[in-house]
Amino acid sequence: MIKLRLKRFGKKREASFRLVATNSTSRRDGRPLQELGFYNPRTKETRLDAEAIRHRLSQGAQPTDSVRSLLEKGGLLEKTVRHAEVVGKQKQAIAREAAAKQAAKEAAAAKAAEAAAAKEAAEAAAAAEAEAPAEEAAAEA
């Protein structure tokens, strides 16, 4: 199977990449079947050989994810939504809903506890007021 992948070259920490067509079992920096373009991530410079890439894609070459995004930006492939992205977004939505429900439940519990504390404080104040006149009457007698 032919893969379209990036081949690293350049200095340490100053990498640039060549877009190449290689056999899927060959090494990353091994000898390619054909060089199809260039990508520099530091300057975002991209040069693509559109005809050669279309020819390789028509032969059934499979681009890697990073090459696919470069080809989509270059207009050589239509942007497609992968199944993994859809599933991931669904899981994130479910997690957000669960977190919102949990937060609402915690807020309701905190509000109920606050109301109970306020009620106890009001009862304690009422009991203290009721005892105060009884103590005054006992003191006068």
pLDDT in tens, 6-44: 988 888 988 999 899 998 888 777 788 889 999 998 998
4 in Cβ contact with 36 (< 8 Å):
yes
Q: Where is pLDDT greater, at 91 or 136?
A: 91
pLDDT score, position 77: 83
The model's pTM = 0.55
pLDDT averaged over the chain? 86
pLDDT score, position 128: 79
Percent of the chain at pLDDT > 90 equals 28
pLDDT score, position 127: 81
What's the rounded Cα separation, in Å, for the pair 51 and 48? Answer: 9
Domain boundaries 2-80, CATH class: alpha beta
* Residues facing residue 48 across a β-bridge: 37
Query: Within the chain, where are the H helices?
Result: 50-58, 65-74, 83-140
Tell me which residue has tokens 């997690």.
Answer: 95
At 127, list the tokens: 């009991």
pLDDT score, position 108: 92
50 in Cβ contact with 38 (< 8 Å):
no
**Among candidates 30, 22, 79, 21, which has minimal Cα distance to 49?**
21
What ranges do the domains of the chain cover? Answer: 2-80, 81-131
**What do you get for the CA distance between the two ends of the chain, in Å?**
107
